[in-house]
Chain A
Amino acid sequence: MERLLLIKYGEIHLKGQNRPFFKRALKNRLIQGLKPLGCYVHEQDGRIYVTGYDPLDEDRVLERAKHTFGIVGVCPALAVEKEPEAMYAAALSMLERAGAGQGDFTFKVKARRQDKSYPQNSFEICADAGGYILDRMPTAKVDVKKPQYTVEIEVRDRAYVYSHEEKGVGGLPVGVSGRGVVMLSGGIDSPVAAYMMAKRGLEVEAVHFLSPPYTGEPAKEKVIALARRLMEYCGPIKLHLVHFTEIQEQLYERCEESYLTVLMRRLMCKISEAIANKEGGQALITGESLGQVASQTIGALHVTDSSVEMTILRPLIGMDKVEIIDIARAIGTFDISTLPGEDCCTVFVPKHPATKPNLKRAVREEERLQVEELIAAALQKTEVITLLPT
């Protein structure tokens, strides 16, 4: 008897010709996340199995598996020999583990016989297993329509028995959609944006802008902690820490005050695009939500968009703050984002930022700076940290 996880995946089924590619990607993601916990991941007959872990670690393994994009469900299961006694005993123990047996309850047994050489058909397996359970659990009653508990027995190379499926996060395996660079500020929104694009299969790298001495070590620690948290969903993350002080000081000295924010956004996008180009990224990701702040009006977004050629993905564009916060809480980034630690976006904020900036004007303002040189200098001073699951 062995404990293991049985993984169910979703949308991948739809992908026709690309199915093997998607499946391989999913398997690789699982291996990346679960190998550090001593797990083996293998695929057989259209199912993925996670084995080899210490049963005491099951909750941790389950949690990580559930957080892997592309997975719709995870079933903690028992694998036993294809013998009636062993299979039925496993079914009984899974029911008990699910909490059945305290007072009256209803259940049913579902069987699937993939190994046609097994002497009994699935109806017979159900009936026998049901009888076995009824004999041993006096408060049990069979209800095939609306049972409280369902035990499933699958007869394959071995018999797999499970009674309970935990919902996975869904989405597509990270990497199948390409690579994107997220501008990670340390606030609430951008980690959620990264999460949402990773969910659609983008591999994510992160860019963070530091403005020492206006921002300090705690702000840096915070963004590293956020990236670490995201790693649980997005896999390994490369974090680029860009020194932005000089650019901000020059902006402040040379450009029109009400345009500072939008000009800063443009320069951040340009730097992120340069990093994306170097790293093979195909899109930028931001946590902007329409109308949330002055730099996120439709006019300001247009001025920002025009600074780069690369597609800018804004998965939060139509969401309210409360909806974003709900996701941030669910993925565990909210409590990190709300730690104190000033980020560079709040340094040199104009009193009255332009909510309807004009593109021509913005470009003219930008021409007061040596943009190319500034970007090259910032890139040269960029620190890169690669975060790997442990």
Chain B
Amino acid sequence: MSIYFDNSATTQPFPETIRAMEHAMEEGYYNPSALYGPAVEASREIARVREAFASALRVRPEEIYFTSGGTESNNLALLGYAHHLRGKAHMLVNPSEHSSVHEVFLELNRRGHQVEFLENDASGRVTPEILERHMRPDTALVSVMHVNNESGAVNDVETLAALAKRINPGCMFHSDGVQAFLKVPVPSFREIDAYSISGHKFHGPRGSGVCYLKKGAFVQQILYGGSQEGHMRPGTENGPAILGMGAALDRYLGHHQEYLDSMWAVKHRLYGNLSRIPGVRLNGPELSQGAPQILSMGFAGANAETLVNALAERGIYCGTGSACSSRAVGKNRTLTAMGVPAQYLPGTLRFSFCYNNTLEEADTVAAAMGEILMRLRRFRRR
């Protein structure tokens, strides 16, 4: 039996997800743009999922765009907005964004825009004070993620967006909600113009995602083709992925509090056990201030890759930093931005949970960590 504590990398699809996808491929395979009955039914099914997301976010269905996932949603919102800008603009971005936001801003910088990185406080957050220091009346774009994928730090995006709009009512506020959706309360979208969601982070399929774009936001399409998704995202709708993600949303919402409680319990239990080991540090905000599914811990005198390998030998799977960047070389942006002390940097692990992780699993993992650290610290690199 393996223990999967890497749910922020991806989650196992719900059986409901798989069944919905099977249905979409076996029976509902028609092109939703076609004119005959079954095709119209396929487009109705997609419309129902759109409404479900609109109601989960408390926005309008026409503000929900289906994409291939978080990366595309972030690119659509940010590049699509930059498309519309005339001249060089000032932009602000959180320094610990996921690569699919970070890299877009590096590209915007190459294109001549003036991109400025904000700072993080010691818990990994962008506070209103930080934003206020950098925000200018001509700042055109601000992007701050809702929940950080490595530390689990939760940004108060509602307040940040309102602050940005107060200083420049014409600016665009984008937030990457990939790790936040269904894990922390949905923000009010009064001041937030764009928000990204990824289906496979909540037991939906890979290749599914949502981009919320406020009606009237100046976002232009970045792909050209057909009239699907109101021209914003042309290409035949990915029916199986959309319906699979819809089914995952349904089930999640049906058990929402129960799932959250279970993740919180595992997180507290694992932290409680691990914090008894010497030379261990919690990265990110104080335990209950963070997201329920993410626990980032630094282990002095160990190397994260070695720890992951040693845990994997025992059938325990977790991440070093975030899976998307664990093979990338160089410094870890998130941990550096929040000033994690040097001795904990090489040995930081991210444990991330889902609804069906158990307290026993947390105990097993903590015990394994204790043994592994004991051995590795004996052979500490000189």
Q: How far is the CB of A285 from chain B (nearest CB, A)?
A: 28
- Taking a contact as CB atoms under 8 Å apart, the answer to whether B313 and A212 are in contact is yes
The smallest C-beta distance from A364 to any residue of chain B, in angstroms, reads: 21
Q: Complex formed: what's the CA distance from A351 to B380 in Å?
A: 13
Contacts of A215 in B (CB 8 A): 309
Are B327 and A340 in touch, CB under 8 angstroms?
yes
Could you say which of A217, A249, A340 contacts B379, with CB atoms under 8 Å apart?
A: A249
Interface size on B, residues (CB 8 A): 17
CA distance in complex: A213, B314 (Å): 11
Chain B interface, DSSP helix/strand/loop, else mixed: helix
Interface residues of A in 127-145 (CB under 8 A from B): none
Tell me, rounded to whole Å, the shortest Cβ–Cβ distance linking A225 to chain B. Answer: 14
A58 close to B (CB within 8 Å): no
Min C-beta distance of B368 to chain A, whole Å? 11
Cα separation A342 to B327 with both chains bound (whole Å): 11
Beyond A216-B312, A340-B329, whether A252 also contacts B379 by CB under 8 A is: yes
B305 close to chain A: CB less than 8 A: yes
Contact A216 B327 (CB under 8 A): no
Known contacts A217-B312, A218-B327, A340-B327, A348 near B306 by CB under 8 Å: no
Measured CA separation A217–B326 after assembly (Å): 13
Cβ of A218: which chain B residues have Cβ within 8 Å of it? Answer: 327
**Interface digits, A214-246 against B, CB 8 Å rule (1 contact, 0 not)?**
111110000000000000000000000000000
C-alpha spacing A339/B328, complex, angstroms = 9
A19 CB → nearest B CB, Å: 50
- List residues of B (141-162) whose CB comes within 8 Å of A's CBs: none
State the CA gap A216–B307 with chains docked (Å): 10
The distance in angstroms between the C-alpha atoms of A249 and B307, with both chains bound, is: 16
Kindly state whether residue A350 has any CB partner on chain B within 8 Å: yes
Closest to A352 in B: B382
Q: Is B381 an interface residue (CB 8 A)?
A: yes
Q: Which residue of B lies closest to A214 (CB)?
A: B306
Interchain CA distance A324-B218 in the complex, whole Å: 52
Tell whether A213 pairs with B329 under 8 Å between CB atoms, given A257-B382, A342-B305: no
Chain A 336-362 interface 0/1 with B at a Cβ cutoff of 8 Å (1 = within): 000110100001111100000000000
Q: Residue B122 at the A interface, CB < 8 A?
A: no
Q: Which of A213, A252, A348, A351 is the one whose CB lies under 8 Å from B309? A: A213
Residues on B with C-beta less than 8 A from A213 are 306-307, 309-310, 312-313, 372
With a 10 A CB-CB cut-off, give which of B305, B307, B312 has the most chain A CB atoms: B305
Q: Which residues of A contact B307 (CB under 8 A)?
A: 213
Chain B's nearest CB lies how many Å from the CB of A371?
20
CA distance A348 to B303 in the complex (A): 12
Q: Which residues of A contact B308 (CB under 8 A)?
A: 216
**Chain B: which residue is nearest A342 at the CB level?**
B305
State A78–B312 Cα separation when bound (angstroms). Answer: 56
**Which residues from A are CB-within-8-Å of B372?**
213
A5-34 vs B, Cβ < 8 Å mask (1 yes, 0 no): 000000000000000000000000000000
Cβ proximity bits B288-330 to A, threshold 8 Å, 1 near / 0 not: 0000000000000001011111101100000000000001110
Q: What is the chain B residue whose CB lies nearest that of A260? A: B382
Q: Are A216 and B381 in contact (CB under 8 A)?
A: no
Q: By CB atoms of chain A within 10 A, which of B306, B312, B378 has the most?
A: B306
User: Which residues from B are CB-within-8-Å of A347?
Assistant: 381
Cα(A216)–Cα(B308), bound, Å: 8
How far apart are the CA atoms of A350 and B305 in the complex, in Å? 20
Judge whether A348 and B305 touch: CB under 8 Å. Answer: no
Scan A174-217; emit 1 where CB is below 8 A from any B CB, else 0. 00000000000000000000000000000000000000111111
Q: Compute how far the CA of A257 lies from the CA of B305 in the bound complex, rounded to whole angstroms.
A: 23
Q: How far is the CB of A303 from chain B (nearest CB, A)?
A: 21
Assuming A253-B379, A339-B327, A340-B329, what are 17 further A-B pairs, CB within 8 angstroms?
A: A212-B309, A212-B313, A213-B307, A213-B309, A213-B310, A213-B312, A214-B306, A214-B309, A216-B305, A216-B312, A218-B327, A253-B378, A257-B382, A340-B328, A349-B381, A350-B382, A351-B382
Leading 5 A-B pairs by shortest Cβ distance: A213-B310, A213-B309, A216-B309, A214-B306, A213-B306
> 28 pairs across A/B with beta carbons < 8 Å?
A212-B309, A212-B310, A213-B306, A213-B307, A213-B310, A213-B312, A213-B313, A214-B309, A215-B309, A216-B305, A216-B308, A216-B309, A216-B312, A217-B312, A218-B327, A252-B379, A253-B378, A253-B379, A257-B382, A339-B327, A340-B327, A340-B329, A342-B305, A347-B381, A348-B379, A348-B381, A349-B381, A351-B382
